[in-house]
Amino acid sequence: MRTVMMKFSRTYWAGCVMKTDVAQILPNPSRSDVLTRHFIHGQIPSARARTHTDAPTPFNPELPPSPLLSPSLIGDRGEISMANKDPGGFLQQLRQIAGRMSSGPRGAGVGLKLLIGAGALAYGVKEAMYTVEGGHRAIIFSRIGGVQMDTVLAEGLHFRIPWFQYPVIYDIRARPRKISSLTGSKDLQMVNLTLRVLSRPLASNLPILYQQLGQDYDERVLPSIVNEVLKSVVAKFNASQLITQRAQVSLLIRRELFERAKDFNIILDDVAITELSFSREYTAAVEAKQVAQQEAQRAQFYVEKAKQEQRQKIIQAEGEAEAAKMLGQAVTKNPGYLKLRKIRAAQNIAKTVAQSQNKVYLNADSLVLNLQDKEGFTDPTPPPPRSPPGRCMDPSLQRKRG
């Protein structure tokens, strides 16, 4: 304990010497000499002794001088030499004393304290700053006053009081979520619907949202309101209408969900039906119905086809009968009409035989051909050349005649 008090006293008086003007010490040489000798030899009186009495403590010259002072500062009588009157050198000596004091175990403790203080300061600065990323908003919760209802912090760097305040950060970007629900249609058919919902919190009401629902607001609210709206909307349509009027059903679901989500400070950017399915029995019945409808349509097609063919034959028979009737009337009125038909038929047969490469032998009588009719039939082979009158073209006959 005495050693600690001595070190404290030496440090105290060294500081006093550094801060005290020399001119203030010189006017009272007796007390200055006594204090100087005590300081040099480590015989500093206690603070209590200095407070209650002005009598100097007896000086013991046999004690060695303090190792903290340079020998150049100590005079012959053991006092600090003021002869040179050099303040710069005196201050330099005091700095050397302070350096010697800090190089011991006490100096290591001071360095450790400084290191701990710097670390605590850096930790405090780090805890006092926080960053709100892009697409996020933050609210402040205080341990004293709770949530600050009028504060919504935007993106960027912000400050807080460590331990007393901490930020609650919300992602205000739209997030997709798929929700499935099994409900019944108007005709009591079970329908499995799946919705894709894009939701985000209302940024201006984040303090209220945090107090009422917390940060998992979508998990607390969306499944319940989606099931409620789906059951109310699907019950207005038949199973077949859910397929044929899918766009209208989706629009009605979106409109009602928007209104319900606003009550919870949630904004829905989009709602769409991604899956619509029925039970296996209903699906099989629908497929059988479609097959039956296709078969009925096919039978109806065959009936219509037969009716058309019947009408075609009737029209054709009526035409032929009308033609025969007209032909009979024409033959009755003009018998030469039948001969004309025979001639045209013979002409067609003759043309066919003439153009064919096969040889056909026919009786001329069977062709029913009137050879006198030169206008209706032309012989494809040219006639042989005629010889001039009075001259024979055959050379053998000419030789006989000659």
Alpha-carbon gap, residue 54 to 16, rounded angstroms? 18
Lowest mean pLDDT: which of 16-30, 97-111, 181-195, 373-387?
16-30
Q: What is the pLDDT of residue 39?
A: 45
74 backbone dihedrals φ, ψ, rounded to 5°: -95, 130
Q: What is the pLDDT of residue 106?
A: 60
Average pLDDT over residues 382-387: 51
* Residue 401 belongs to some domain of the structure: no
Q: What is the pLDDT of residue 357?
A: 76
Q: What is the pLDDT of residue 169?
A: 94
Select the more confidently predicted residue: 377 or 328: 328
Residue 375 — pLDDT band, cuts 50, 70, 90? very low
From 103, 119, 146, the end of a domain falls on: 103
Alpha-carbon gap, residue 140 to 150, rounded angstroms? 10
Per-residue buried b or exposed e for 280-295, using 16+ beta carbons within 10 Å of the residue's own CB: eebeeeeeeeeeeeee
Residue 59 — pLDDT band, cuts 50, 70, 90? very low
For residue 343, the SS3 value is: helix
Average pLDDT over residues 277-291: 83
Average pLDDT over residues 35-44: 46
Domain that holds residue 99: 2-103
Q: What is the pLDDT of residue 392?
A: 45
Is pLDDT of 37 > 90? no
Q: What is the pLDDT of residue 16?
A: 47
* Residue 96 belongs to some domain of the structure: yes
Average pLDDT over residues 270-292: 86
pLDDT tens digits, residue range 113-139?
Answer: 888 888 888 888 888 999 999 999 999
Average pLDDT over residues 40-55: 46
* Residue 349 belongs to some domain of the structure: no
Alpha-carbon gap, residue 81 to 65, rounded angstroms? 13
pTM above 0.75, yes or no: no
Lowest mean pLDDT: which of 80-84, 103-107, 146-150?
80-84
Q: In what order do the strands lie in the sheet with 266-278?
A: 175-184, 190-201, 266-278
Q: What does the block give as tokens for 205?
A: 């009401």
pLDDT tens digits, residue range 133-190?
Answer: 999 999 999 998 899 999 999 999 999 988 899 899 999 999 999 999 999 899 888 9
Q: What is the pLDDT of residue 89?
A: 62
Q: What is the pLDDT of residue 345?
A: 83
* Residue 264 belongs to some domain of the structure: yes
* Residue 219 belongs to some domain of the structure: yes
Mark out the alpha helices in 53-158 (DSSP H runs). 87-102, 105-128
Q: What is the pLDDT of residue 98?
A: 52
Lowest mean pLDDT: which of 83-87, 328-332, 363-367?
83-87
* Residue 74 belongs to some domain of the structure: yes
Is pLDDT of 338 > 80? no
From 45, 73, 103, the end of a domain falls on: 103
The packing angle between helices 87-102 and 105-128, to 10°, is: 80
Parallel/antiparallel/unpaired status of strands 190-201 and 175-184: antiparallel
β-partners of residue 191 are: 183, 278
Select the more confidently predicted residue: 265 or 21: 265
For residue 94, the SS3 value is: helix
Give 271's contacts (C-beta < 8 A, 6+ positions apart): 195, 196, 197, 198, 250, 253, 254, 257, 258
Q: How many domains does one find in the chain? A: 2
pLDDT tens digits, residue range 218-271?
Answer: 999 999 999 999 999 999 999 889 988 988 999 999 999 999 999 999 999 999
Average pLDDT over residues 193-207: 93
Is pLDDT of 47 > 90? no
Select the more confidently predicted residue: 92 or 193: 193
Give 12's contacts (C-beta < 8 A, 6+ positions apart): 44
From 263, 278, 293, the end of a domain falls on: 278
* Residue 170 belongs to some domain of the structure: no
Average pLDDT over residues 70-82: 47
Residue 265's CATH number: 3.30.479.30
* Residue 284 belongs to some domain of the structure: no
Residue 331 — pLDDT band, cuts 50, 70, 90? confident
